[in-house]
Amino acid sequence: MTRLDGQVAIVTGGSRGIGRAVALAFAREGARVAITAVHDRDALEATEREIAALGGATIAMMADVARRGDIDKLVQAILAKWGRIDVLVNNAGILRLAPLENITEERWDETLGVHLKGTFNCTQAVIAIMKQQRKGKIINIAAPSALRGSYGVADYAAAKGGIIALTKNAANELKSFNIQVNCISPVADTRMTEELTKFRREQLGIARRDREVVPPEAIAPAFLFFATGDSDYVSGQLLEVGRN
């Protein structure tokens, strides 16, 4: 018996990178997986086919997590098809690189809209369902820059810091309903880390990453831990994964 048999998971930003790796890992463990993307339909459909090739059931939907209406439509589609939601992974994200003084109000709003408001939207959309089930797992995504600072990502880091605070508050509010809320701060070899490496090289003359990073597939077991019964007594925690 696989660890997520009969369960339903949402992975936002599930078309590539860490989201894709997590969606595939969940499918291998027996979960029915709903995945979203906001721009690249081809990548979303490719991941959908990969899940199907594993024998998994999936819903793939274009959705902007910053728009509550999109998330409500996703939740309605999932409930209509599968009748429950057990796991939410708030993975959708964007990265727009610029020094602090060059960040525009529009960019600030966009970044916080996707990361922080998006995490809020998706979390709020599943709370009533998980409360009724008396069971649920919510996994949010932070970043090292939220804890230690970086360069060119002040808006991104601020959003991730907000997500850490949201995680801890949600964990406290939802603990009596057997809903665990945790946060992972991952560093993996993705398009975002490639963009950051290139930016730091151009802006600061740093020729390489400060540390090596692992493939997204190496991050997925941490998500499985927080998605399964192994973490039934763990909530409000921040786990850093991916640096060696």
**Catalytic sites, residue numbers:** 156
Sequence-distant (6+) residues with CB within 8 A of 206 are 200
The DSSP secondary-structure symbol of 220 reads: H
The two tokens of residue 236 are 């409000």
Q: Under DSSP, is residue 43 helix (H, G, I), strand (E, B) or coil?
A: helix
- Dist CA 13 CA 34 (whole Å): 10
The two tokens of residue 187 are 């560093």
